[in-house]
Amino acid sequence: MEIQQSDSLLLPQEVLLSAGVHIGTRVKTNDMVQFIYKVRPDGLFVLDMDKMNKRVMTAAKFISMMDISRLVVASSKRYGRLPVHKFCEVTGAHPLIGRFTSGTFTNPTYSHYFEPVAVLVTDALADKQIVVEATAVGVPVIALCSTDNNLSDVDLAIPINNKGRRSLAIAYWLLARQLKRELNELTPEQEFSFSIDDFESTL
């Protein structure tokens, strides 16, 4: 059995399990060992949902203390684009979707130059150029990370399946809801006015 018992998750365990937020890859990096709960008989590494939960809360608290309009949220991955767009729509963060142009953070003469206070990337590998430029200008990097990610230049990793459509929707929905709570715009008892479906890419 791959079920991890926990009473402190931000969503019911069955919702997280059905979305596969805990499913990693058959590759594990030394950086991600600390976030791995177990390995399945088929060789897939399973992420620790308690640690995912804590990192979502930590990231939301960190983001709540900054100028959110200068938080860049990025995804070059197809299934990450709608979740990123929706997160930015809900929170006021700045989306960077699709191909990243070198110099966006480092070249003030570039027409789309932007000075972020932090970046949040969907995949530290797929969005590597953003991570490199953010690091070059001394900007903190938050990243959704699966078992195959390296954490060099990542300041805060959120261990989660960063490849699945539903998992990415849940990741950004949870971050948005928790951020609203940190900003005292939503109490723990209040319903979030957006659904996970609102954050999910279509096929």
- The pTM for the full model equals 0.93
Is 172 within a domain? yes
Is 51 within a domain? yes
The DSSP call for residue 100 is P
Please give the residue range of the domain that contains residue 148.
13-199
Q: Which of 176, 175, 173, 179 is nearest to 195 (CA)?
A: 173
Q: Which of 117, 130, 135 is nearest to 76 (CA)?
A: 130
Give the chain's domain count: 1
* CATH code where residue 64 lies: 3.40.50.10490
Residue 74 exposure: Cα atoms within 13 Å on the Cβ side: 29
* Phi (first) and psi of residue 170, to 5 degrees: -65, -40
Is 167 within a domain? yes
| Separation CA 53–CA 41 (nearest Å) | 25
Is 5 within a domain? no
Is 2 within a domain? no
Is 6 within a domain? no
Is 162 within a domain? yes
Is 24 within a domain? yes
Per-residue pLDDT of the chain (203 residues; tens, 9 = 90+): 445 545 567 887 888 888 889 999 999 999 999 999 999 999 999 999 999 999 999 999 999 999 999 999 999 999 999 999 999 999 999 999 999 999 999 999 999 999 999 999 999 999 999 999 999 999 999 999 999 999 999 999 999 999 999 999 999 999 999 999 999 999 988 999 999 999 999 87
